[in-house]
């Protein structure tokens, strides 16, 4: 069997490749990258993988049995077509199975919903492709909150619109373990799985960060409108509403799901006690 992972220059694609190598060997894993120069020390065959270059994609997928399509970063209206390029190339190249890294979240009603809708469209395109398939719906990454610790420390608080909503966060490493399983296990084909850890509130997140980093963060709830405006002022018109919309979704309960992690991997998702105690500062 030969496995390929797209966007292997990114953090999730790279982690998936590492987990696949550990499960198989480095000759069985091929990385596709738009920017191969961004790939660090994987020791695998790298091939061209720009989602906007269908001919490259088809040539790169020659001889591949099963493929992980890592969701792209383009605006939703462009992303659907990019993912269709990958699916069409996989079919034309004779790939047998495709696994897609989708996202959890509400299809309507938040500023993040257009991204969720584009992911749902790709799910539908994959299900209609005629290939074997499996789909993971990722929880929200927890790493950005950890990387934001200096800013949180300076502000003394976490302020957002999640309110008392719980979020089943995850980590790229935990997701990668699940995607290696989805790619290599045939008994999970034809199903969609929520991939996330135990849901926690924002005050609980503040407690975990305080314990790991010695901070004294408190939590302050903001309105959805104020938080979208706050994020847009800091992050711009594309990413700002996306981040604001995610927290609006948390407040609405869209990420408060037990998830299917253990079904996919045969073991529980890493606990937040374990994750945060592994962080040293």
Ligand X SMILES: NC(=O)c1ccc[n+]([C@@H]2O[C@H](COP(=O)([O-])OP(=O)(O)OC[C@H]3O[C@@H](n4cnc5c(N)ncnc54)[C@H](OP(=O)(O)O)[C@@H]3O)[C@@H](O)[C@H]2O)c1
Nearest to 10 by CA among 205, 143, 152: 143
Smallest distance from the beta carbon of 231 to ligand X, in angstroms? 14
**How far is Cα 8 from Cα 261, in angstroms, rounded to an integer?**
22
Smallest distance from the beta carbon of 244 to ligand X, in angstroms? 14
Nearest to 200 by CA among 169, 227, 170, 222: 169
Smallest distance from the beta carbon of 270 to ligand X, in angstroms? 16
Nearest to 248 by CA among 148, 72, 116, 74: 116
Residues at the contact surface with ligand X, assessed by CB under 6 A: 7, 9-13, 34-35, 38, 49-52, 70-73, 82, 103, 138, 140-141, 172
Question: Is the Cβ of residue 63 or residue 81 nearer to ligand X in the bound state?
Answer: 81
- DSSP letter at 142? S
Smallest distance from the beta carbon of 216 to ligand X, in angstroms? 26
Question: Is the Cβ of residue 141 or residue 257 nearer to ligand X in the bound state?
Answer: 141
Residue 233 to residues 23, 162, 239, Cα–Cα distance (Å): 44, 19, 10
Question: Is the Cβ of residue 28 or residue 141 nearer to ligand X in the bound state?
Answer: 141
**How far is Cα 196 from Cα 213, in angstroms, rounded to an integer?**
23
Q: How many residues does the chain have?
A: 281
What residue number has its CB nearest to ligand X? 10
Smallest distance from the beta carbon of 214 to ligand X, in angstroms? 26
Alpha helices (H) in the chain, listed in sequence order? 11-23, 54-60, 76-93, 113-127, 143-147, 149-155, 172-184, 202-213, 224-235, 239-251, 261-265, 272-277
Smallest distance from the beta carbon of 76 to ligand X, in angstroms? 10
Question: Is the Cβ of residue 73 or residue 279 nearer to ligand X in the bound state?
Answer: 73
**How far is Cα 209 from Cα 203, in angstroms, rounded to an integer?**
10
Question: Is the Cβ of residue 9 or residue 215 nearer to ligand X in the bound state?
Answer: 9
Question: Is the Cβ of residue 113 or residue 154 nearer to ligand X in the bound state?
Answer: 113
């Amino acid at each position: 069997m030969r496995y390929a992972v797209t966007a292997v220059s990114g953090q999730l694609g790279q982690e998936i490749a590492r987990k696949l190598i550990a499960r198989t060997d480095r000759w069985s894993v091929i990385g596709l990258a738009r920017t191969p120069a961004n790939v660090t020390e994987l020791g695998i065959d790298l091939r061209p993988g720009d989602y906007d270059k269908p001919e490259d994609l088809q040539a790169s997928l020659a001889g591949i049995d099963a493929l992980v399509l890592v969701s792209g970063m383009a605006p939703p209206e462009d992303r659907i077509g990019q993912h269709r390029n990958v699916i069409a190339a996989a079919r034309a190249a004779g790939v047998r199975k495709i696994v897609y890294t989708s996202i959890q979240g509400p299809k309507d009603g938040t500023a993040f919903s257009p991204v969720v809708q584009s992911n749902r469209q790709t799910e539908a395109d994959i299900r209609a492709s005629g290939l074997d398939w499996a789909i993971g719906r990722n929880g929200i990454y927890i790493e950005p909150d950890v990387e934001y610790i200096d800013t949180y420390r300076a502000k003394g608080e976490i302020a957002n619109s999640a309110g008392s909503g719980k979020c089943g966060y995850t980590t790229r490493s935990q997701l990668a373990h699940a995607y290696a399983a989805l790619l290599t296990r045939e008994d999970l084909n034809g199903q969609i799985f929520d991939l996330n850890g135990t849901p926690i509130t924002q005050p609980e997140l503040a407690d975990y960060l305080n314990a790991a980093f010695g901070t004294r963060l408190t939590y302050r709830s903001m309105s959805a409108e104020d938080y979208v405006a706050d994020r847009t002022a800091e992050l711009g018109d594309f990413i700002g509403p996306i981040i604001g919309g995610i927290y609006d979704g948390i407040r609405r309960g869209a990420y408060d799901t037990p998830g299917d992690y253990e079904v996919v991997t045969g073991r529980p998702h890493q606990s937040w006690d374990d994750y945060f105690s592994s962080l040293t500062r």
